[in-house]
Structure 1
Amino acid sequence: MATPNKKKILNDPVYGFITIPTELLFDLVEHPYFQRLRRIKQLGLSEYVYPGALHTRFHHALGAMHLMGQAMSTLQSKGHRITDAECEAAQIAILLHDIGHGPFSHVLECCLLDNVPHEEISLMLMRELNRQFGGSLSLAIQMFEGTYERPFFHQLISSQLDMDRMDYLNRDGYYTGVAEGAIGAERIIKMLDLVDDQLVVEAKGILSVENFLNARRLMYWQVYLHKTSICCESMLIQVLRRARFLIRQNGPDPVYAPDTFRLFLRNSVSMADFQTNRLYLEAFTKLDDFDIWSCIKQWALHPDLVLSTLCQMLLDRKLFKIMLSTEPFQGELLHELEKQLRQDGFTAETISYFLIEGQATNAAYLPSGDRIAIKLKTGQVIDIADASDLSNIQVLTNIVRRYYVCWAKGISISQSVS
């Protein structure tokens, strides 16, 4: 039998032809854990705003792997010793960095699990894959965790100028049609260098980094924190909150859910649960967006009017209204909105599902974190905030908060709901 060709070339709409360079990387892409990412959209419910935003975590992970390969080539071309094993490990780490995402990516992270970030699940799955592949991922895991002796690998995987951000800004801008997402990733990568095994950007790349930071700020407000996306996500969270309440009440009307999904609706699953009971991790690897949508379609027919109303509104794109402010909302406004909802038939118990407060935050650059270091022609290394002459660079370092309130307007519901 002929040996299968595992060094594949893929046609990516953002970068053109990209290569899966090693057999191990190919086998990881083919693994069911990674194939699940085909069924998880990169931008959750952003398609309700930008109809083209239908790309997946699978696309993004492959793109980040491609950019990591370019970064390795750039650093090697500048005389830095990077072995083939290190190159492969870095690409494995970035390929698998999002493997722990659940359905709808970030949207459900807060309500499907009990304070378990997707990065921790990614690490657990990488360790499981390492077991299945006979320890071949050990170096990649060290890089992912930041315990490897050469810190620049972790910086390329997770920092304020990593391959993850470079790909998602490019890719999300492309699929949404928001031109501000274009960051010139290829030029930034060409400007990368190392000083004492720490990642730096050559001085002639300052303008590209400034563009990258501006693009990130604009993409957050125009895409990731778009007011309509906030509405959709708030509604989806309330759908799951209601379904979880009904399932735990164990009432006379059953709430449909696949066993793997029901496990997380019925139980508050913490990190300790993942670590002590293999059942939770295996169930998690079976979940994707399709599980949630199939439930939403079923729940739209459920006798509980809170659950069915929210689900039908999402299916029909009849969304909550939203109001944004730079200051917290006053009590008078919230009381007035509650009064309107009561007039539409909502009870004290049901109002909380149809009137939601929250806040969104955005900071393009945090100097207190892993800084973006610029190497001047003199060899001195300074922070981008000090190297840039961009007038608003300090503005980009501020954490901007926007407060919002979402509510159902013009929707009537029976007083009998309890």
Structure 2
Amino acid sequence: MQNKLKIINDPVHGFIKIPHEILFDIIEHPYFQRLRRISQTGLLNLIFPGATHTRFHHAIGAMHLMFTALETLKLKGVQISKEEEKGAMLAILMHDIGHGPFSHALESMLMDDWHHENLSLLLMNRLNDEFDGELSTAIEMFQGKYHRKFFNQLISSQLDVDRLDYLKRDSFFTGVSEGNINTQRIISMMNICEEGELVIDAKGIYSIENFLTARMFMYWQVYYHKTSALAEFLLVKILERAKYLVSQGENLPAAENLKYFLYREKSAATDEDIQRFTQLDDNDIIQAMKSWQYSEDVVLSYLCKCVIQRKFPSTIISSRPFEAEFIEEKIKKTNEIFGINNGNELVHEITRTLLPYNTEKQPIYLLQKNGTKTRLDEAENQILSGLITNKTTRYILTFPRENGEINS
């Protein structure tokens, strides 16, 4: 009989144990193995060369942090059964199983408004049928329907093990040290209050503030970096243009499963949609872009060369929207340079908005020694939490370099 209680050597967390056989069975499943071919951070490796890690890495890491969190809570007297432990680890292991190629960027392009969490849930239900209902508890926890609320908070909240892993992992692989949080310290401060909700021991307040500010810095320095935002935007525009050209009768070379989605009309997801979606990964998109560089369509060819040859358009970043006349001038010049009349396909204003800490939606609570709860942003000894509750928006204008060289 095969030993399924494996140990995985992870560069971020060290040795990761797989304490339940069903976890190994899910990891081995083709749905999960596909995550090896889905980048965790889209095209970020074009900006941070080390960012080549995958959704597979992240899901395993998040599973490990879930195990660590549950062990911590048990030591603090929280009763957690083997079934609950298994359910929580399965839920976080599968939380990204519905991600499409290049993670978030192409979700809506390929499957209309099917957010990856909807697809993850759909695939979880299919796996549950395959494994004779063994994932039922995990699905309840994932959906927030399980009677003990803290399990869902560990999976999805403003302080969950998903965020703890991706911040530490993305910081490690990008080399951006500002995101390097102390996951062990944060997890050691986790607790459960009388109402059965996840709270943080009051003495951990500065570790939590550090986590929130690290996340903010990672967003502006990495995820919302103007060239990162541009690369993600280009991917969306490439698929948009390809779908448009196909709708006009043009035959674009593409792998069979990608071609299926280029021709697909908007509708509810069918069995064939799901079957084909679970065959798609980053390689299909890269292969298509390599071919489409040579398309006769100026816009598609230009956009694909931008990504494949890393010849990015110019970008200007601003804290205010750009003047309509300025954008119009860039479009007009683009039309002249490329001899086209749809320069608006190559000149765009991209916006990125961040709310570092939301005081309304699932606020973080601190547990005082006397058993009372205090909201993080209302704690007397908080330093930064009250300062990171405002939304910030950045505007990025992108246009072809031939239009006037501005450093990106």
Do the structures match in fold with TM over 0.5? yes
Q: Secondary structure at the match of 2:350?
A: strand
1:411 CA displacement: 6.8
Q: Secondary structure at the match of 1:111?
A: helix
Q: Aligned runs of 1:267-282 on 2, under 5 Å?
A: 267-270=264-267, 273-274=268-269, 277-282=270-275
Aligned equivalents of 1:151, 1:345: Cα separation in 2: 57
Q: Deviations over 1:113-135 (max 9, x none)?
A: 31111000000000000000000
Q: Which residue of 1 aligns with 2:217?
A: 218
Q: Deviations over 1:21-49 (max 9, x none)?
A: 11100000000000000000100011111
Aligned equivalents of 2:380, 2:330: Cα separation in 1: 46
Paired AA for residue 360 in structure 2: S
Is 2:184 aligned against 1:186?
yes
Q: Which residue of 2 aligns with 1:335?
A: 328
Q: Deviations over 1:342-373 (max 9, x none)?
A: 22134332x12211122101111101111111
Q: Secondary structure at the match of 2:198?
A: strand
1:140 CA displacement: 0.3
Name which of 146, 149, 170 aligns with 2:147.
149
Preserved CA contact (<8 Å) 2:376 2:382: no
Q: Aligned runs of 1:5-404 on 2, under 5 Å?
A: 5-195=3-193, 196-251=195-250, 254-270=251-267, 273-274=268-269, 277-349=270-342, 351-387=343-379, 389-404=381-396
1:268 CA displacement: 4.0
Preserved CA contact (<8 Å) 1:299 1:308: yes
Paired AA for residue 258 in structure 2: F
Q: Secondary structure at the match of 1:6?
A: coil
Distance 1:153 1:164, change over 3 A: same
Aligned equivalents of 2:63, 2:301: Cα separation in 1: 41
1:230 CA displacement: 1.3
Aligned equivalents of 1:22, 1:51: Cα separation in 2: 35
Preserved CA contact (<8 Å) 2:351 2:395: yes
1:392 CA displacement: 3.5
Aligned equivalents of 1:194, 1:366: Cα separation in 2: 21
Q: Displaced runs of 4+ in structure 1, greater than 3 A?
A: 388-392
TM-score by length of 1: 0.94
1:390 CA displacement: 4.1
Q: Secondary structure at the match of 1:348?
A: coil
Aligned equivalents of 2:302, 2:274: Cα separation in 1: 32
Paired AA for residue 378 in structure 1: N
Paired AA for residue 177 in structure 1: G
Structure 2 gaps, min length 5: none
Q: Secondary structure at the match of 2:351?
A: strand
Aligned equivalents of 2:158, 2:226: Cα separation in 1: 25
Q: Secondary structure at the match of 2:294?
A: coil
Q: Deviations over 1:52-105 (max 9, x none)?
A: 000000000000000000011011111111000000000000000000100000
Aligned equivalents of 2:367, 2:97: Cα separation in 1: 34
Aligned equivalents of 2:19, 2:322: Cα separation in 1: 53
1:405 CA displacement: 1.4
Aligned equivalents of 2:152, 2:338: Cα separation in 1: 54
Count of equivalent residues: 403
Aligned equivalents of 2:403, 2:245: Cα separation in 1: 22
Aligned equivalents of 1:345, 1:170: Cα separation in 2: 44
Q: Deviations over 1:303-360 (max 9, x none)?
A: 22222222122111100111111111111211221122122134332x1221112210
Aligned equivalents of 2:304, 2:155: Cα separation in 1: 37
TM-score by length of 2: 0.96
Paired AA for residue 377 in structure 2: A
Aligned equivalents of 1:310, 1:227: Cα separation in 2: 17
Aligned equivalents of 1:269, 1:91: Cα separation in 2: 34
Q: Secondary structure at the match of 1:110?
A: helix
Preserved CA contact (<8 Å) 1:114 1:268: no
Percent of residue pairs bearing the same amino acid type: 46
Q: Deviations over 1:108-162 (max 9, x none)?
A: 1232231111000000000000000000000000000000000000000000000
Q: Deviations over 1:370-407 (max 9, x none)?
A: 11110012211011111263444223111111112111
Q: Secondary structure at the match of 1:11?
A: strand
Paired AA for residue 67 in structure 2: G
Name which of 407, 413, 416 aligns with 2:399.
407
Structure 1 gaps, min length 5: 413-418
